[in-house]
Structure 1
């Protein structure tokens, strides 16, 4: 199952701004893209704009079925 598609678009940033975002992303162990998304969500929330979280597939091992636990 692939992750839901995300909207891709070109973004032009001042090199100093990009460097600052890159440093912040590294400090938070995120990619620059994930950091920008996080910063945008925080800025919108601060302004009172609600953004729905997209359903993303969960990572890791799937939970065990109850039926298989009862049979064993």
Structure 2
């Protein structure tokens, strides 16, 4: 099963983009893949990831 992906525009200054591009290359990811990984990691660490949200909503019923 594939998850539906949403598209949106993100504006970054050139220096931030260059740093992100380098980080992604260092980890053999695309810039998009690196952003997805960073966001997923931050959501998981904050307890706000999709799986965490699903558990909270099902346990509160």
Using structure 2 for the length normalisation, give the TM-score: 0.69
Richer in helix (by share): 2
- Greater RCO, 1 or 2 (C-alpha within 8 Å, sep 6+): 1
Unaligned runs of 5+ in 2: 52-61
Root mean square deviation of aligned Cα: 1.5
Unaligned runs of 5+ in 1: 53-72
Q: Which runs of 4+ in 1 moved over 6 A?
A: none
Q: Tell me the number of residue pairs that the alignment of Structure 1 and Structure 2 aligns.
A: 50
Using structure 1 for the length normalisation, give the TM-score: 0.60
Structure showing greater Rg: 1
